[in-house]
Structure 1
Amino acid sequence: MRTYGARDHEATVTEILPRTQHFIRVRMSSPTLMDDFVYLPTCFVRFWFPDVDDPESEQQRAYTITEIDEDAGTFAVDVVLHEPSGPASAWMMKAKPGDSVSVTPLGSTHFDVPEELPAGYLVIGDSASIPAINAILETVPNEVPLEIYLEEHDPKDRSIPLASHPLARFHWVPRRGETSLAAAIEDRDWSDWKVWAAPESGSLKHLRKRLRDDFGFPKSEIHAQAYWYYGREFGKKRPKNLVDETAIETAAPDAAGTVAAQEGASTPEALVTGERREVSEESVGAYAGDLPTSASRSAATMDSKASHVASSEPAPKRGAWKAEAGGRLLAPLKPTFILAGIAQGIITLVELAPFVLLVELARLLLSGAEAAQLWTLGVWAVALMGAGVLLSTALLLWLHAVDARFAKDLRQRLLRKLSRVPLGWFDARSSGQVKQLVQDDTLALHYLVTHAVPDAVAAAVAPITVLVYLFFVDWRIALLLLLPVLIYIVAMAIMVVQSGPRTGQAMKWAERMNVEAGSYLEGQPVVRVFGGAAASTFRARLGEYIQFLEDWQRPMSGQKAFIDLVTRPATFLLLICGLGTTLIVTGAMDPVSILPFLFLGTTFGARLLGVGYGLSGLRGGLLAARRIQVTLDEGELETLVSAPSVGSSAATVGSVQDASGRRAVPGRDPSDRDASSRDASPDAPGRDASGRVEFDRVGFSYRPGVPVISDLSLSLEPGTVTALVGPSGSGKSTLAALLARFHDVASGAIRIDGHDLREFTPDELYTKVGFVFQQTQLVHGTVRENIALAVPDATDEQIEAAARAAQLHDRIQTMPQGYDTVLGPDAALSGGERQRLTIARAILADTPVLVLDEATAFADPESEYLVQQALDRLTAGRTVLVIAHRLHTITGVDQIVVLEDGRLAELGNHETLITQAGRYRQLWDAGAAATLVGASTTVGASTEPGSDTATGAAKAANAGAATDTAETLTSASGEGQIR
């Protein structure tokens, strides 16, 4: 360990606190330890305890830091007192304040939660690892589930306090042998879960095998370490006389040794916050494996049907992990890679052959050979050189053709996938991220597909072939040439170890900075107006990125310079000339024999550096492949043939009715959908009784176990206006997004005219539901194309009628080419005009159901009046769902739905709810206190076409000059997430 700078530090016991009958907390003081120790959650230190059987030796044991005061130089560890006791337990049992022991922080690790959260954590251990498990429970975010499996060695183990976590389940597994813990793991799909395992070493061996073989866990998703081994002494041994030396000469612990326990403990009551499950003997016995002799008596008591269960039950389901996504994407190219590797190996040999022939040609020249021999070798050398160039070119052309076809197919698959994923998928990502996926990531695969395999094969075959040849010429110089190669390999390995997780972090930083730079450039108007303050966030993030790169690369700058020096052709030439001259002068080598080394020996460095430079491209390609496959694995909107009724109550206008009181709506044959579609005419009169929307026991969550909408039932009758109100985070935007099918419900169903949304294809759905959101989005194209976006085959007359109804026709006529004007810098629309164009789209689409956000948010007073008139025309006779931002604007709607924590808290009209001392009244009072003007403005409920009174959502969008409520009733519709 001297190489790594390990030092001993003296730790003195200051206090011992019993926590249970066999579990104690030991507080210690070691001021010098803090000089070598950077504390992070779940870090540990290694102790050296006197060996009770060998006074001249010490045993190693690692313990988690559970408390620390770096300024005072104090820390604490939690210790399980085992019986029979080993060196650690024996010392701890007798320890008292003032006793000292040697400690070192070498090899300490910590538990990290990645930026991309896993589906969950499978945490496995026993009493010795409970401090570590407590630290994990305290570190993992509350929305991530954990399954905790604890092997019980002693009944007292259950009294050890465990930390709490809202989504943690605890499973105690009685130990009956080395296979008990592995057998207890639930047979289920563990896709995208991570494993942290630290049980006894014998149990760990079987556990790792089952995790890999039965469930398919990749190695990268398993963090496994052993704390101790049944029947063996703890840790690694060292002579006691090393205790006073500064450096420690010992080996790092292996799987049979000890690695740290990790932080933290709480109260025994913490167990009740998660579900506790006993693992039956039968389930343990169902796993095949030999039980040790000490457990044979217990094993004999197992139920006889356990073996039947083991043989008859289906094999556990193997999961799929994002970490392996890149491999799945590239799997079809595996035959191509194999053929390319074989071909490149042959080409490399062909390319090296001319150099060997030239060496022989030089030998013949010096020995006075006949001209015919020289011509023959020369012709062969030139022919092989030409053949190598032709073959290499042909291979690259073939691989480029493969890459072009693969990239084309990949982009088509991505575009098909993006057309089928829920719209909420786009809301969770910026346009820069989507562009990177479709364009940049597919381009990043170019090196991986076209050059990675040939470069790797050439880098391996060429040096090995040359070395073999040179060893036949003179083994002494060839052996010397191995020295720079070995130095390069060792130095690169050290750099890779030092980089550790920072390589992946660098990729994340690069991706993040691309998005930040795009946002910074798009926000230049704001930056210019507000000056440095507006740009400070970007500058700060850029400074953090630069600091990260400096912290990562600066310590390795010397190593990189050394590697470059070692692999230079001049270095190889110096070695060849130095040793070769010595051998020639002493007569130990024929002078002609140095020629092969001069021709071939200097090429090693370029080959090795080529491998290093190619690694970044290879790593970038693999990450791009992973991102692409993860996207291709995203769930798509499912189209059902039929959707059964959930059979629950739904709330109708003004009241919450039970199942017996709910008005039934007759179903309609799916084949009649097209026939029932109305012409997209903006002049159509009032609608018939269609457009009934029913939310039937709807449940939804963005992450498993964290519900956003819970068991919500609600009905929107045809031609009525329903307003969603509630505090920020109550689920308003999410509920509207579900009606738009930005996401599919997790439970229950949403129906339009008796048909589940999932029965409709996207094109069919958007003939039923229209949207007008605050954030308008125009596509690159003409005004006509933008209006007809939802109805591409609309006639010019229909498009113009929609524009007239949206109060936009006159503005379009002033544009250079009228409806054929291409929207851009020379033909821009104001915020109010853009909103009216969006309304024209909705009018042309002529959907019976409409979802509205505050449509006048970006309009000036003059534009607001025009937008309001357009909304009056749009909402007439339709079923409207409004996301209400200001309560005074929705007093006249038919139905107000008050949401709180994703549940229906109250339901009724304004007159009913305002008289109740409920949540709506609280929100109203808060809004009234904040409203400065326009408090008397209300929304009429008229559904007559042409009514001068703004109807439903039109009046809900009547912004006035009122301020938002004190409850911050704002939401950005279409974001797909709760605000």
Structure 2
Amino acid sequence: MSIRADTRRNPSILSERDPSALAIVHAARTVMARGFQNALMKAFGATEHVMTVLSVEDLAPAFRRIRFHAPTMIDGRETPTASFIRLWAPDPNGSDKVHQRGYTLVDPDPESGEVSFDFVLHQPAGPAASWAMAARSGDTITASYISYTKFDPPEPEPDGYLLIGDPSAIPAINGILEVLGREARIVLLLQEVSEGDRAIPVAAHPNASVEWVTQSTPEAIAGAIPHRDWSNWHAWLAGEAKMVKEVRACLNKQHGFPLADIQHRAYWVRGKAMRLRKDHGAEEAEPAVEARITEQAVQAAEPSMPELAPAVGRWRSQRGLELLTPLRWKLRAAGVLQGLISLTRLAPFVLLAEIGRKLLSGETGWSAYQPLVIATLALYGAAALFSSMLLLWLHVVDADFGRDLRRTVIEKLGRLPLGWYTERNAASVRQSVQEDAGRLHYMVTHAVPDAVAGAVTPVAVIVYLFTVDAGLAAMLFLPIIAFIFLFSHMMRGNGDNLARVADWTKKANAAAGAFVDALAVVRVFGGNGRDLRAALDGQAKFLNAWQRPMAGRKVLSQLAIQPPTFLLLIVAGGMWRISAGGMTPADILPFIFLGTAFGAQIMAVAYGLIPLREGRLAAKRIGVLLEEKELDRRSSHADLPAGPLTVRFRDVSFGYRPGKPVLKGISLELKPGTMTALIGPSGAGKSTLAALPGRFHDVTEGAITLSAGGAEIDIRDLSPQVLNKRIGFVFQDACFIRASVRDNIALSRPGASDTEIENAARSANIHDRIARLPRGYDSVIGEDAHLSGGEAQRLSIARVLLANPPILVLDEATAFSDPESEHLVQQAVAALTRDRTVLVVAHRLHTITRADTIVVMKDGSVVQSGRHESLVAVPGLYRDLWHAGEEVAA
């Protein structure tokens, strides 16, 4: 963004002028002052806007916030977190120069068109600070706006955030701190440039540690980065240009940050003012003498930063690059071969042009044409053959790569803990195996040849045509220049809309998914899908408002590079060159054969690069999946002796993320043949605790053990087969595979006989329902077997009964049962829990009054424990929950 204002105002004149007219005069003078730079910015889509100062507020001794009215710049658009723009301040010495500086949008209000900028008022003051010091309400300033840049929280969520900046970056850092979750780990390094910088308000965050670096050199803040393992952290930095460059290099080389995990932007240049002269409009960078001397003195006094071995762990994003490593030499080879094939494809057209020249010169003998015709056919056939062979080879490479990749993903899925398989993670698996694998297929088989052909072909064509006639060849660039001009004019002021397309698509997809998921509820209760309608209407209005005014310009820009345009140019230019004696009529043939598709060939480069980018992103997402933490089964080989089993939780703590425990120091003992119930408010950690004995996750601290025959063994040391046979689970959500009822019950014991399967179904009160299915036990679930919630629950109980585990975990087994089915489920549960050690998660307290032990949980800790009679007799959480349940029942 550019900014310019005339500070040499005459108050008497200003009082006589219309404010709007004065703003136009300021805008015109600004445009003239910027010269070439302004024209260049406009070519990239910059638009002019006038901002009016509304208020000035000092937030700290050297930190000033100025509120502007900028209705045309804000214009109802959404401004993302830490949106960054460039301003141009007037020269404080009164010349017609403007000075560049970066600023963060603070509290933008799309409805009122207001926005604030924070200015750091250091001494000696720079041009922007000098303007801010003198700013008063009613002042106007002209801005050139291109598009907002923003802070994008990466996906998946990193282990932490490292935020680095000088005082000018604090507004952006405050915006980032406000949007990051309360549980995010944050390390904040701030550079103290002048006294009083520490008084600048920094947003509070419960998990942010703040450190100020007193020396104001790039080396100082780079050296202040703690030397530790930053793996899977995300870095964001902004400030002075040299500092940003130095710190970015340090993060990458000494701390191991992949460049993709570093967001950076330069707000200003130390010791330099980027100035524009009004007389010739050329940009120059003049060093400010005082700042230059100070910086050189500090650099001379400081020793160079020592080279340290990086304390590097492993970033998830690295795995995606490693996936593509075996392909790199093959893709490079494919690129080289495609370059040769592209040249071979062009050769027949060159020969055809030569044949045409001979025809025009009057050659009639076959002997004159025979070598050219044979060579043309041979080269054409060779290009087609080699192109087919290259495509075939790349498909073979892709088939091998895709097979190995899918095997790797499947093997990885088998090593992940069962607790990882949430609905969100299941969606990421589908995307990796289906969509991302498809993007990698196109990248491997087609993207590289397309991109290389798009680059080699137009270069070879233009080089050859310059040898034929340089004048006409140079004219072929005119439509390209026209396309660039028309396209930039079309995109002027639309930089944000490119990002908003993705945002609206994401909103529409999310609304459609939510509508489909809730379709049954919507139909029952008569909903009209207003959220989906609103999202689709909003998307349609946005696209219509954006694309409709651009339709004419889009058509013109596309026409500029179409073959008929080049043909018309070649014919007109060729006739002019022929009439002027610059070329012969025969020389126009190569241009007709090769030059008409010149523009389309150049555009093919961009179309070929897009799949390459999408392929790299797909590989990154698959790599993130492959870097998910696995269960450590290196010591999981032990067996259990025979005898009754006791389960012990020994000071168990667990958290899904490092440093964020969900369970804290829990100790329990489940004796053989007893029932232990877990109760508590939602979010207390009951289901998480109940899943741990089956190693759905491994504990963070402490241990879970099984005792039998005098031996006590950590479940992490037991083989998966032994653990699965000893502990059975019945969850709220009953899951089945698309197979027969018999096969679904027999999943727990694949070798079970039909009689054993039927006996298990009878004990679970589901046999009669199965008998009424079209094919009985051979009925396929999802095709001719559609079960209610209670029926599905009883079928899952039959599966556990067939496995006959000595330890059973029930997670509210009757949650989805209707009143009639609940009685049958309760009977099935009673049969299931008989003579077993049971751990049950309950929300209906009347179902666990006869439990041997009731464990009351709150915020991941055990707050009460005992039998129903003793717990309800004393004040506490259990009695409160019991009385609340009675009131609801009443």
TM-score by length of 1: 0.78
CA distance in 2, matches of 1:256, 1:424: 60
Question: In the alignment, does 2:64 pair up with 1:25?
Answer: yes
Asked if the contact 2:85/2:148 (under 8 Å) is kept, the reply is no
Q: Choose the corresponding residue for 1:723, options 677, 680, 692.
A: 677
CA distance in 1, matches of 2:175, 2:845: 46
Letter of the 1:168 counterpart: A
Aligned to 1:136: 176
Aligned to 2:667: 713
Q: Give the C-alpha shift of residue 456 in structure 1.
A: 1.0
How many residue pairs match? The answer is 838
Aligned to 1:855: 813
Asked if the contact 1:835/1:855 (under 8 Å) is kept, the reply is yes
CA distance in 2, matches of 1:737, 1:825: 31
Asked if the contact 2:254/2:310 (under 8 Å) is kept, the reply is yes
Question: In the alignment, does 2:737 pair up with 1:734?
Answer: no
Distance of aligned partners of 1:497 and 1:868 in 2 relative to their CA distance in 1, 3 Å threshold:
farther
Question: In the alignment, does 2:644 pair up with 1:689?
Answer: yes
Distance of aligned partners of 1:507 and 1:339 in 2 relative to their CA distance in 1, 3 Å threshold:
farther
Aligned to 2:886: 928
C-alpha distance after superposition, 1:446-488 (max 9, x if no partner):
2111011111111111111111111111111111112334455
Distance of aligned partners of 1:712 and 1:830 in 2 relative to their CA distance in 1, 3 Å threshold:
same
Aligned to 1:602: 596
Q: Choose the corresponding residue for 2:618, options 590, 612, 624.
A: 624
Letter of the 1:736 counterpart: A
Q: Choose the corresponding residue for 1:897, options 827, 848, 855.
A: 855
Distance of aligned partners of 1:62 and 1:812 in 2 relative to their CA distance in 1, 3 Å threshold:
closer
C-alpha distance after superposition, 1:550-599 (max 9, x if no partner):
56755664554334312221111111101111222333221111111111
Asked if the contact 1:291/1:299 (under 8 Å) is kept, the reply is no
Asked if the contact 2:62/2:122 (under 8 Å) is kept, the reply is no
Q: Give the C-alpha shift of residue 128 in structure 1.
A: 3.4
CA distance in 1, matches of 2:807, 2:395: 51
Moved more, 110-119 or 792-801: 110-119
CA distance in 1, matches of 2:286, 2:867: 68
Q: Choose the corresponding residue for 1:887, options 845, 860, 869.
A: 845
Asked if the contact 1:854/1:885 (under 8 Å) is kept, the reply is yes
CA distance in 2, matches of 1:25, 1:573: 60
Distance of aligned partners of 1:459 and 1:493 in 2 relative to their CA distance in 1, 3 Å threshold:
farther
CA distance in 2, matches of 1:809, 1:603: 72
CA distance in 2, matches of 1:402, 1:23: 62
**1:350-389 to 2 correspondence within 5 Å?**
350-369=344-363, 370-389=365-384
Aligned to 1:746: 700
Distance of aligned partners of 1:465 and 1:401 in 2 relative to their CA distance in 1, 3 Å threshold:
same
Q: Give the C-alpha shift of residue 325 in structure 1.
A: 5.2
Aligned to 1:768: 726
C-alpha distance after superposition, 1:492-515 (max 9, x if no partner):
788899886877776687678667
Distance of aligned partners of 1:632 and 1:588 in 2 relative to their CA distance in 1, 3 Å threshold:
same
Moved more, 102-111 or 817-826: 102-111
Aligned to 2:35: none
Asked if the contact 1:776/1:835 (under 8 Å) is kept, the reply is yes
Q: Choose the corresponding residue for 1:170, options 190, 194, 210.
A: 210
**1:886-965 to 2 correspondence within 5 Å?**
886-932=844-890
C-alpha distance after superposition, 1:361-383 (max 9, x if no partner):
22223334332121121111111
Any unmatched runs of 5+ in structure 2? 1-37
Asked if the contact 1:47/1:103 (under 8 Å) is kept, the reply is no
Aligned to 2:474: 479
Q: Choose the corresponding residue for 2:462, options 455, 462, 467.
A: 467
C-alpha distance after superposition, 1:419-464 (max 9, x if no partner):
2212232214275553333233322322111011111111111111
Q: Give the C-alpha shift of residue 73 in structure 1.
A: 7.2
Distance of aligned partners of 1:755 and 1:884 in 2 relative to their CA distance in 1, 3 Å threshold:
same
Q: Give the C-alpha shift of residue 926 in structure 1.
A: 1.4
* Secondary structure at 2:672 match in 1: coil
Q: Choose the corresponding residue for 1:327, options 321, 324, 329.
A: 321
**1:358-437 to 2 correspondence within 5 Å?**
358-369=352-363, 370-429=365-424, 433-437=428-432
**1:330-349 to 2 correspondence within 5 Å?**
330-349=324-343
Distance of aligned partners of 1:405 and 1:180 in 2 relative to their CA distance in 1, 3 Å threshold:
same
Distance of aligned partners of 1:11 and 1:367 in 2 relative to their CA distance in 1, 3 Å threshold:
closer
TM-score by length of 2: 0.85
Aligned to 2:452: 457
Moved more, 574-583 or 776-785: 776-785
* Secondary structure at 1:380 match in 2: helix
Letter of the 2:714 counterpart: D
Asked if the contact 1:750/1:756 (under 8 Å) is kept, the reply is yes
Aligned to 2:20: none
Q: Give the C-alpha shift of residue 725 in structure 1.
A: 1.3
**1:99-498 to 2 correspondence within 5 Å?**
100=139, 102=141, 104=143, 106=145, 109=148, 111-114=150-153, 116=155, 117-175=157-215, 177-230=217-270, 232=271, 235-238=273-276, 294-295=297-298, 299=302, 310=306, 314-317=309-312, 319-322=314-317, 326-369=320-363, 370-429=365-424, 433-488=428-483
**1:769-784 to 2 correspondence within 5 Å?**
769-784=727-742
Asked if the contact 2:398/2:441 (under 8 Å) is kept, the reply is yes
Aligned to 2:16: none
Aligned to 1:759: 717
Q: Give the C-alpha shift of residue 343 in structure 1.
A: 1.2
Letter of the 1:778 counterpart: F
Asked if the contact 1:58/1:240 (under 8 Å) is kept, the reply is no
Distance of aligned partners of 1:784 and 1:499 in 2 relative to their CA distance in 1, 3 Å threshold:
farther
Q: Give the C-alpha shift of residue 12 in structure 1.
A: 4.7
Q: Give the C-alpha shift of residue 321 in structure 1.
A: 4.9
Any unmatched runs of 5+ in structure 1? 243-248, 258-289, 301-305, 643-669, 677-687, 933-979
CA distance in 2, matches of 1:164, 1:812: 60
C-alpha distance after superposition, 1:690-730 (max 9, x if no partner):
142324332213x4443322233322222221111111122
Distance of aligned partners of 1:137 and 1:407 in 2 relative to their CA distance in 1, 3 Å threshold:
same
Question: In the alignment, does 2:619 pair up with 1:580?
Answer: no
CA distance in 1, matches of 2:553, 2:545: 15
Letter of the 1:236 counterpart: M
CA distance in 2, matches of 1:70, 1:410: 47
CA distance in 2, matches of 1:452, 1:589: 39
Question: In the alignment, does 2:766 pair up with 1:808?
Answer: yes
C-alpha distance after superposition, 1:171-207 (max 9, x if no partner):
1112174311001111233334333222334433321
C-alpha distance after superposition, 1:898-954 (max 9, x if no partner):
22111222222222222222122222221121113xxxxxxxxxxxxxxxxxxxxxx
